[in-house]
Amino acid sequence: MTQTSRMAATILLLSALSGCQEPVRPIFETHDSPIVWPPAPDQPRLQYIGSLSGESSLNKPKPVTLKSLLAGPEPTIGFSTPTSVAARGDDIFVCDGQNQAVYHLNLVTRDFRAITHADGQQLGWPIDVTLADQHIAIADSKRAAVFVMTTGGADVRAIGKGMLKRPSAVGWSPQRREYWVLDTGAHACVIFGEDGAEKSRLGQRGESLGEFNYPAGLVCDDRIGTVIADSMNFRVQTIDAAGLARNMFGKKGDAAGDFSLPRDVATDSDGHIYVLDNQFENVQVFDREGRLLMAWGQEGRGPGEFYLPSGISIDARDRIWIADTYNRRVQVFQYLPEKAIAGNEEQQAK
């Protein structure tokens, strides 16, 4: 066989294999019976959507090449220690400290890429990520700074270099144009302007209202204030726009509404406060005054089960994203507001 014939045969083979590719599979599996909380006969308020474990979760078809035929498909990247998630629309950002990266997944294009450097250096231990308008802000506990970047991974500015001990969380207030950074090493919350200049700081180590003991997670909600998981005080505190502590709830214990290690917090469209407990491996949902509404989760590997989870966030669609750290995955749930449920029932009755 001549070289031209061999080339033609190879092209024909690749064309044939390309035509035999499997259809694009959905990212999240469908379930015959929805997995919801609380279970029937109670009205469901939460539905399980699915999980992501890394690049392979996107189910993106790989092009058939001669190299892939001879050597097999290239390996994909999986999450190692996901600690935080931020989502806007179909763009998902996942912090992975062990892999020293923030992964950007797009659920429509199914693209997957890694942000591994900020301010000219390798990320040390990216522990938290939040969306700030068209930017992302990454709290790096090892490099003791917060890095603001475009969603494409280009540097915008570094915040807190030389001023922070061990940042563990970052939040963004669109209304006040401020970054709120939890400095666990200093038992404090530091507030920076949009330009990265420090504006104020609040808190010290202690047990009184407005004091902290290894705070670990926060969320800025301009309707409620900044909600902080005050981990080793086993409680949640709410701070107003002026930096004054207005409310706190929770205590160490094993009863409903108690905490073992509150690790992170989030709020939904109705202003409910979700508290992710790393040691109880569950999520408890409270109203703004701290009254317990519901809870779900336990240790395990199934849907709605966790293994030392570290981060929770809720996007504009009321999808709940949980970094299920030592299960090496991100679990996704959907909050079902009462008004949405009522709307569905009215539609079905017509």
Domains defined for the chain, CATH in brackets: 35-349 (2.120.10.30)
Per-residue pLDDT, 30: 81
In the sheet that holds 319-324, the strands lie side by side as 36-37, 46-52, 329-335, 319-324, 311-314
How many CB atoms sit inside 10 A of residue 312's CB?
24
- Reply yes or no on whether the pLDDT at 4 is more than 90: no
> Could you tell me the pLDDT band of residue 313, with boundaries at 50, 70 and 90?
very high
The whole-model pTM stands at 0.89
Res 216: pLDDT: 98
Q: Which two tokens stand for residue 141?
A: 């506990």
19-23, 132-136, 199-203: range with lowest mean pLDDT: 19-23
pLDDT tens digits for range 204-238: 999 999 999 999 999 999 999 999 999 999 999 99
* Percent residues over pLDDT 90 in the chain: 81
Give the tens place of pLDDT for each residue, 13-53.
Answer: 555 555 555 567 899 988 789 999 999 899 999 999 999 99
- Is pLDDT above 90 for 63? no
61 band by pLDDT with thresholds 50, 70 and 90: confident
Is residue 6's pLDDT more than 70? no
- Tens digits of per-residue pLDDT, 230-287? 999 999 999 998 899 999 999 999 999 999 999 999 999 999 999 999 999 999 999 9
SS3 string, the chain, reads: CCHHHHHHHHHHHHHHHHHCCCCCCCCCCCCCCCCEECCCCCCCCEEEEEEECEHHHHCCCCCCCHHHHHHCCCCCCECCCEEEEEEECCEEEEEECCCCEEEEEECCCCCEEEECEECCEECCCEEEEEEECCEEEEEECCCCEEEEEECCCCEEEEECCCCCCCEEEEEEECCCCEEEEEEHHHCEEEEEECCCCEEEEECCECCCCCCECCCCEEEEECCCEEEEEEHHHCEEEEECCCCCEEEEECCECCCCCCECCEEEEEECCCCCEEEEECCCCEEEEECCCCCEEEEECCECCCCCCECCCCEEEECCCCEEEEEEHHHCEEEEEEECCHHHHHHHHHHHHC
**pLDDT bucket at 62, cuts 50 / 70 / 90:** confident
Please list the residues that pair with 296 across neighbouring strands.
283
| Angstrom distances, CA of residue 194 to CA of 87, 115, 157, 158, 191 | 21, 22, 10, 11, 10
Looking at residue 291, what DSSP letter applies?
Answer: -
Say what the pLDDT of residue 75 is: 81
Contact (Cβ atoms closer than 8 angstroms) between residue 259 and residue 275: yes
Compute the distance between CA of residue 188 and CA of residue 213 in angstroms, rounded to an integer: 9
Q: What is the reported pLDDT for 68?
A: 55
Higher-confidence position of 350 and 84: 84
Higher pLDDT, 72 or 286: 286
The span from the CA of 188 to the CA of 184, in Å, is 7
In this predicted structure, the answer to whether residue 344 has a pLDDT above a threshold of 60 is no
Whether the predicted pLDDT of 317 surpasses 90: yes
What's the rounded Cα separation, in Å, for the pair 85 and 302?
19
The residues, ordered by sequence, that sit 6+ positions from 303 with a Cβ below 8 Å of its Cβ are: 35, 48, 51, 331
Give the pLDDT confidence score for residue 339 in this predicted structure. 63
